[in-house]
Amino acid sequence: MATLQYVSGTKRLFQVYKLLGEKTMQQVDDAALFWQHNEESNSIATIVKHMRGNMLSRWTDFLTTDGEKPWRERDSEFVNDLKDRETLLVKWNEGWQCLFNALDSITDDDLDKIIYIRNEGQTVLDAINRQIAHYSYHVGQIVYIAKLVKSNEWQSLSIPRNRSKAYNQEKFAQDKQEKHFTDDLLEKK
């Protein structure tokens, strides 16, 4: 039971980060998806390309093969060669679908199994936590780039500035309830 609760909870976290990325990309025009601050920085499209490459490598046959696949070309993930929103979103969804398929395959016996990433053994549980951190880091970068591009036109994806007090008043005016903190975000999709 605990395994299924953990996997369900982590799947919800991944869904939230996927949703935050999508809501961010919806706020910017096509040119902004490919904008780079300088040659050393990544565009939103490049980050998406990298995340997809990482997801396909880490989650394809993740219980039986090393998470760094021989076919992965990580360095090419940082070449800003995507040309349109449609292609970018296809790559975005391919990566996430691979992740969700893998999570759906986990059984009660799997969380303590040792899997490898670059020949370094870790439990499935640790590998999942590692990827939550990795993907949230990159979604944060996507949001930050979009905020730079949108400037004052940015629409907050969380509690807007100077609205914390009103937000807390609304929450504390409700009866206590047991629910996952992602419920409100995912219901507003």
pLDDT digits (tens, 9 = 90+) for 38-70: 999 999 999 999 999 999 999 999 999 999 999
As given in the structure block, the two tokens for residue 43 are 């565009």
For residue 116, the cross-strand partners are: 121
pLDDT digits (tens, 9 = 90+) for 85-128: 999 999 999 999 999 999 999 998 899 999 999 999 999 999 99
Residue 100 near residue 14 (C-beta atoms within 8 A): yes
CATH superfamily for domain 2-187:
dinb family like domain (1.20.120.450)
d(CA 111, CA 94): 24
Most confident segment among 85-89, 157-161, 169-173? 85-89
Secondary structure percentages of the chain, helix, strand, coil, to 5: 60, 5, 35
Domain boundaries, the chain: 2-187
Secondary structure element (H or E) that encloses residue 121, with its range: strand 120-123
pLDDT band for 181, please (50, 70, 90 cuts).
Answer: confident
More confident residue, 181 or 88: 88
Q: Which residue has the higher pLDDT, 69 or 5?
A: 69
pLDDT attached to residue 182: 74
Query: Which two tokens mark 172?
Result: 């504390």
